[in-house]
């Protein structure tokens, strides 16, 4: 079955918000990072439909995406990826951390980055 980065980005984003509403910031922080990864991969596939999105995680994904997502059509997401603090501190091994690894303030910083990434990738949540 083909991967659907678009649907996954939106689902992970919504799930992160549900967990954050219950003060579960470890799970919420982890999922919001995956929402960002899926948004970036969706943008890559939209730019290069015949190419597969790279199967890597943040922060390596950011470096790979910078090479692909260039030009006027991708300026919004390209500029976002160039920010030095974009998704700073998020890493895939958060899934193995103990409770309390993600502070509420950190989650909200990542949530803001995720909202920008979703918008830059032209992904909109259905109300």
For 17, 33, 68, 94, the CA distances from 44, given in Å and listed in that order, are 25, 17, 7, 25
Among candidate residues 52, 40, 65, the one with its CA nearest the CA of residue 120: 40
Report yes or no on 126 lying in a domain.
no
Mean pLDDT of 58-86: 87
- The mean predicted confidence, pLDDT, of the chain is 91
Report yes or no on 127 lying in a domain.
no
Range of the domain at 97: 5-120
- How many Å is the maximal CA-CA distance in the chain? 42
Report the domain count for the chain: 1
Report yes or no on 125 lying in a domain.
no
- pTM of the complete model: 0.91
| pLDDT tens digits, one per residue of 32-54 | 999 999 999 999 998 887 777 88
Among candidate residues 22, 16, 21, the one with its CA nearest the CA of residue 39: 16
CA dist 15 and 63 (Å) reads 26
CATH of the domain at 98: 1.20.120.330
| pLDDT tens digits, one per residue of 75-99 | 889 899 999 999 999 999 998 999 9
Provide the pLDDT for residue 126: 58
Report yes or no on 77 lying in a domain.
yes
């Amino acid at each position: 079955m083909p991967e659907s980065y678009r649907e996954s980005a939106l689902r992970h984003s919504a799930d992160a918000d549900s967990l954050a509403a219950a003060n579960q910031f470890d799970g919420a922080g982890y999922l919001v990072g995956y929402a960002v990864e899926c948004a970036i991969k969706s943008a890559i596939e939209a730019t290069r439909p015949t190419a597969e999105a790279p199967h890597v995680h943040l922060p390596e994904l950011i470096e790979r995406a910078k090479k692909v997502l260039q030009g006027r059509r991708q300026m919004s997401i390209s500029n976002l990826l160039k920010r030095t603090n974009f998704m700073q501190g998020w890493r895939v091994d958060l899934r193995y951390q103990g409770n309390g690894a993600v502070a509420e303030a950190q989650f909200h910083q990542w949530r803001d980055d995720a909202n920008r990434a979703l918008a830059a990738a032209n992904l909109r949540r259905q109300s």
